[in-house]
Structure 1
Amino acid sequence: MATANSDTAFFGHPRGLSTLFFTEMWERFSYYGLRAILILYMMADPATGGLGFGIGKATAIYSLYASMNYLLSLPGGWLADKFLGLRNAVILGGLLIASGNALMFFPGIEVFYIGLAAIIFGTGFLKPNVSTIVGTLYEQNDIRRDSAFSIFYMGINVGALIAPLIVGYLAQRVNWHYGFAVAAVFMAIGIIQFILGSKYLPRRVFVPVPPSDILEQQQRKVWLQYGSVALIATAALLFLLAPAAEALADLFGYLLLLIVAVVLSYLLFKESPNAYERRRLAVVCILFFISAIFWSSFEQAGSTLNLFAEQNTNNTVFGYAFPSSWYQSLNSAFLIPLAPVFAALWIRMGTRQPSVPAKFTIALFLVGLGYLFLVPGAELSVGGNKVSPLWLTGTYLIHTVAELCLSPVGLSAMTRLAPARMAGFIMGVFFLSISAGNYVGGRMAGFYEKFPLPHLFGAIGAFCIIVALLFAIFIKPVAKMIDAAPASTAPSA
């Protein structure tokens, strides 16, 4: 097997990156296809095959779905580290996602909830671990690392581009359940190619991290027992309480807040054996909060912005009426040509590129700017007017540039900052920030009919920009914490 430095078979990167590229592409096809239609399907008239939920119940279920997809990355990453190995966790996750989508092909509220639960658990296993495997292809200070995650992120967005076009069309124009079926088929294809391409991955992703001693081995078994009971209980609770979605979503919000507090406290006070690791894990916690605020705004694409597309936008171009779910492809349509530009830019700038906290600050500022851009369009829609598609198009363009400054950079930063013994868990922590953001973003859609849209969009945009300006003060100190070397080594380049 070629070493990480010598293997340049995939656009100057290791061949294994192509396997991970296509695996994540089809997983994101499933996720973004469902995101594009889920809230619309739940609110659609039962006469057209929808579920007929009100906006409160639909947005509550959506927020639970969007949040828990990423929340379960924490146990998914931990189980991969300690018991399954990264490769096996990805395979298990893919099988669950395919099965969940297949179940939702069949009508019935029961299979709808079971299918959603399967997809949530499957994403928890697949999402953090396939991203972690990308990091294993490179040495710690390989300058191709950020570039690799940008290429990997382009694979994500190929799936996210075509998913709303195919799933959205089948669901809104033919039959809602056909959209779920096509997602199941493509996820199965993604897992097959992952299994076949696993020979290009490092051997260490096939096995879990070995315990350091007998005591840790025993502790793992105890935690596995408790964790298995907790996961089964969580799945059962979701199924039983799903009809009372709004109350469940409120309860989940408090639980999520508690989980965030426990996890970040664990990182800072339990998993920090020396000052060097304490600094790096402290940076993970700082980036966590910026990421959570960013995603709470950005991920309203499937909720608030989706409703704006359906109810307030004239979805016609050159006389052709298109499904409102197609707007969900705009982000990826912009990102695919821009991702290689950003990847090349970071490579060209080398050590002169903006630091990780600087990129996060730029991203948060831009996502707020995207909402401010939409405020005049929201003003024009007051009174039931349908506005031009250009308003949403412009917002998605600004948000795409913002995303490229944060998401692939964040993935890369987590693999760099994480101690080897808990690489999967730290990636799960990053996805926990997305989980928190998704929850808030989903719940924000519940205000869609309660507040004037210009005020709603304006408040979101202003908040993000103010926080970005405040965080800008701390860019240099946080960057120094990232670059600080262990006391026993020379300063890193």
Structure 2
Amino acid sequence: MTEKTWAGHPRGLSTLFFTEMWERFSYYGMRAILVLAMVAGVETGGMGLDDQTATAVYGIYTAGVYLLAVPGGWIADRLLGLQRAVWYGGILIAAGHFTMALPFGPTFYLGLLLIVLGTGLLKPNVSALVGHLYPGDMGARRDAGFSIYYMGINIGGFAGPLVCGLLGERVGWHWGFGAAGVFMVLGLIQYRMTSHYLGGAGVEPQLGDAAGRRRGWIAVGSATVALLAVAFAAMAGLFVIDAVAMASAGVYVIVGAAAAFFAWVIGFGGLDADERKRVGVIAVFFVCAAVFWSGFEQAGSSFNLFAERYTDRVMFGWEMPASWLQSVNSLFIILLAPGFAALWVHLGRRNLDPSIPAKFSLGLIQMGLGFLVLYFAAQFVVQGEQVLPTWLILTYLLHTTGELCLSPVGLSAVTKLAPPRYVGQMMGTWFMGAALGNLIGGLIAGYFGDDSVAEMPSRFMTVFLTTAGFGVLLALFIGPIKKLEGRADGSATSH
């Protein structure tokens, strides 16, 4: 009997394609209106928060999504299995969106917590399931399968802000949050109805024994109860959480933890000289990733506020929702990703493919150039004028091309450079770098508020000089970094 296929790939790929498409629809749809809802006046259904607090909450939320991916993968590997982890993660995400849709202030934060927990459980494991569909020596087909899968991610990222943004800004914020939950439920329904196409891939946990699982469940249960207890205590008003202070403390905690981890692995991890050098390169990439994501994640915070307050969005007498500009990045990814992939392959055949540090450098410089564009746009804003959306669109274009240079090679570089016995932990550092960038980004966004318009150009210039400066500095050390990489450098740059 011939195995059923989907576009020439295992039939289960369609299950995961649509699951992740709807999950990303809900994630980016909600994210597009998150800061806007927090800063909107209470009389309009918003929360009436100041910019600094709202963007700090945004930073904590997006950082939490990355941080929880590490324990989410651990839970799937040792306790649930990949398929059940995706299912329960999706349920938590939907519950979080519906909780945010309730017209009660305290439930807003509980909903965010549920989404973070659910995304940490679903996001890493649905991607791992894609890999499980291609056993053995199927590298080329696996790469093609992931390309199709990532197209689903960006289709969801493109459509989510359009639907949730329109409902949130035009009907009511809670309607936008509720819509995100509805579409996550659609993803769960199709996942359940078509999960048989996944076969036995990731059904059972792969690591640990029965005793270890019992200990694991006790640990997970205890952590969950403690987390929910803190959340309900805060909702009851027993104490007040200062989002800005919490985000600031989180930065120091992540930096300290990462520094301690790298120092321990290099000093006491039993590595040889070449392995220590490669771990040092991963540490450099960790810093670069944090810098990059701190700028990239302005999209949902300071750029979103810039779109709402200072951008002329009227077309043919109708004002476009500010959140619709959040779809631009995903649209550019859909349009440009195939071209970038073909470009790297074309250059690789001629031994001209840029090295990993060169791609990181290009990504950071393009990130900085995006802020330089807004520096010029801000010159008009300080004069009391509104600017055309083309300024933000050009910024998003530069940030997207920067993302395509840096993000796809990041995880691949870690797997190539990490000592085999530390691959899992080194992968965790990549997520930590992204989380650190999100926290810093949320704090930075708080300095672009309505009360500091006069300083806006200089602050955009500062971010440009910082991010592009890191890129130029990295470019100056491409040679030494490639020597430290040794034989680990190579094919990773082409994927």
1:23 maps to 2:19: yes
When normalised by structure 1's length, the TM-score is 0.86
Question: Whole-Å Cα distance in 2 between the matches of residues 414 and 254 of structure 1?
Answer: 23
Match in the other structure for 1:447: 447
Match in the other structure for 1:59: 55
Q: Contact (CA 8 Å) 2:292, 2:437: kept in 1 or not?
A: yes
Q: 1:165 to 1:276 in 2, by over 3 A?
A: same
Name which of structure 1's ranges 446-455 and 432-441 shifts more when overlaid on structure 2: 446-455
1:437 to partner: Cα distance = 0.8
Q: 1:71 to 1:183 in 2, by over 3 A?
A: same
Q: Contact (CA 8 Å) 1:77, 1:425: kept in 2 or not?
A: no
Q: Of 158, 182, 195, which residue of structure 1 is paired with 2:155?
A: 158
1:355 to partner: Cα distance = 3.2
Paired letter, 1:323: P
Name which of structure 1's ranges 155-164 and 336-345 shifts more when overlaid on structure 2: 336-345
Where 1:32 maps in the other structure, the secondary structure is helix
Question: Whole-Å Cα distance in 2 between the matches of residues 382 and 221 of structure 1?
Answer: 60
Aligned 1:280-429 pairs, distance under 5 A: 282-350=280-348, 352=351, 353-414=353-414, 426-429=426-429
Q: 1:198 to 1:285 in 2, by over 3 A?
A: farther
1:206 to partner: Cα distance = 2.4
Match in the other structure for 1:237: 230
Question: Whole-Å Cα distance in 2 between the matches of residues 268 and 256 of structure 1?
Answer: 18
Q: Give the CA RMSD over aligned residues.
A: 3.3
Where 1:388 maps in the other structure, the secondary structure is coil
Aligned 1:267-286 pairs, distance under 5 A: 268=266, 282-286=280-284
Match in the other structure for 1:434: 434
Match in the other structure for 2:468: 465
Name which of structure 1's ranges 164-173 and 374-383 shifts more when overlaid on structure 2: 374-383
Aligned 1:194-273 pairs, distance under 5 A: 194-201=191-198, 203=200, 205-211=202-208, 222=215, 225-239=218-232, 240=234, 243-265=241-263, 268=266
1:157 to partner: Cα distance = 1.4
Paired letter, 2:243: A
Question: Whole-Å Cα distance in 2 between the matches of residues 45 and 314 of structure 1?
Answer: 21
Give the number of aligned pairs.
Answer: 478
Name which of structure 1's ranges 85-94 and 38-47 shifts more when overlaid on structure 2: 85-94
Paired letter, 1:245: A
Q: Contact (CA 8 Å) 2:298, 2:442: kept in 1 or not?
A: yes
Q: Deviations over 1:90-124 (max 9, x none)?
A: 22211110110011121101211111110011111
Question: Whole-Å Cα distance in 2 between the matches of residues 89 and 266 of structure 1?
Answer: 31
1:73 maps to 2:69: yes
Q: 1:21 to 1:424 in 2, by over 3 A?
A: farther
1:478 to partner: Cα distance = 4.7
Question: Whole-Å Cα distance in 1 between the matches of residues 4 and 482 of structure 2?
Answer: 30
Q: Of 180, 188, 213, which residue of structure 2 is paired with 1:183?
A: 180
Gaps of 5+ in 2: 490-495
1:56 to partner: Cα distance = 2.6
Q: Contact (CA 8 Å) 1:44, 1:52: kept in 2 or not?
A: yes
Q: Contact (CA 8 Å) 2:370, 2:394: kept in 1 or not?
A: yes
Question: Whole-Å Cα distance in 1 between the matches of residues 226 and 269 of structure 2?
Answer: 27
Q: Deviations over 1:39-82 (max 9, x none)?
A: 11011111111111122321221121121111111211222222
Match in the other structure for 2:487: 484
Q: 1:358 to 1:196 in 2, by over 3 A?
A: farther
Q: Contact (CA 8 Å) 1:276, 1:485: kept in 2 or not?
A: no
Question: Whole-Å Cα distance in 2 between the matches of residues 357 and 59 of structure 1?
Answer: 31
Q: Deviations over 1:385-417 (max 9, x none)?
A: 211111111111111111112223334445666
Question: Whole-Å Cα distance in 2 between the matches of residues 94 and 316 of structure 1?
Answer: 37
Aligned 1:30-109 pairs, distance under 5 A: 30-109=26-105
Where 1:209 maps in the other structure, the secondary structure is coil
1:89 to partner: Cα distance = 1.8
Question: Whole-Å Cα distance in 2 between the matches of residues 11 and 349 of structure 1?
Answer: 28
Q: 1:264 to 1:21 in 2, by over 3 A?
A: farther
Q: Deviations over 1:133-185 (max 9, x none)?
A: 34443668935665554443322211111111100000000111111111111
Question: Whole-Å Cα distance in 2 between the matches of residues 478 and 150 of structure 1?
Answer: 29
Gaps of 5+ in 1: 487-493
Name which of structure 1's ranges 17-26 and 346-355 shifts more when overlaid on structure 2: 346-355
When normalised by structure 2's length, the TM-score is 0.85
Q: Contact (CA 8 Å) 1:80, 1:89: kept in 2 or not?
A: yes
Question: Whole-Å Cα distance in 2 between the matches of residues 280 and 12 of structure 1?
Answer: 38
Question: Whole-Å Cα distance in 2 between the matches of residues 140 and 284 of structure 1?
Answer: 27
Paired letter, 2:334: I
Q: Contact (CA 8 Å) 1:370, 1:396: kept in 2 or not?
A: yes
Q: 1:16 to 1:422 in 2, by over 3 A?
A: farther
Q: Contact (CA 8 Å) 1:81, 1:422: kept in 2 or not?
A: no
Q: 1:361 to 1:142 in 2, by over 3 A?
A: farther
Paired letter, 1:289: V
Question: Whole-Å Cα distance in 2 between the matches of residues 271 and 208 of structure 1?
Answer: 28
Question: Whole-Å Cα distance in 1 between the matches of residues 408 and 458 of structure 2?
Answer: 31
Q: 1:184 to 1:266 in 2, by over 3 A?
A: farther
Question: Whole-Å Cα distance in 2 between the matches of residues 9 and 354 of structure 1?
Answer: 35
Q: 1:481 to 1:164 in 2, by over 3 A?
A: same
